[in-house]
Structure 1
Amino acid sequence: MIASAALACSAFAVAAAPIAAEAQSRRVLVCENTRKSGNTGTVIGAVAGGLLGNAVASKGVKTEGTVLGAGVGAVAGHQIAKKKAKKNCRYVYR
């Protein structure tokens, strides 16, 4: 009698465990158009940085100034666009 009661309780616990796990919802941060705005910011930053690097560099190192300015501008543009895109985020429960 005790063994059958223990078996019945354990079977109930095993059957109830997936239901309890499915009942928990997760809060997920959803951002819209983050990738698109990050890519746009990277391109705009690279172009602006390249132009600025070319203008600031001295005569003998124009190419290096352009490449370095484009790299720094791309990173800065991406970070700025990513920060602005986070304003379009919201939490949803899944």
Structure 2
Amino acid sequence: MLSILQILLMILGAVKFVMIVHIAMSWLINFQVLNLRQPLVYQIWEGLNRLLEPLYSRIRRFLPDMNGLDLAPLVAFLAVYALEIIIRNNAGIFL
């Protein structure tokens, strides 16, 4: 059971990493540090969007319209972090 717990925590860590990269990249694109006309930047951006958009779209259905402010990545990141805390605090049950 310990290895399943460690695999779950590793997957949540990878999801958090991908979300942080996506959030940082969106800021860099919005502040025009990165340019989507560069092929590598565009490919990475599209890949991250394809990975995370199914998660974000489900969250956006429940959030109110914020006039251009997208809080779905923040809510998703907090949910993943809360799930990790819950798993860590209740690890003794599974062992």
Bigger strand share: 1
Q: Pick the TM interval, shorter chain.
A: 0.3 to 0.5
Q: TM-score, normalised by structure 2?
A: 0.39
Q: TM-score, normalised by structure 1?
A: 0.39
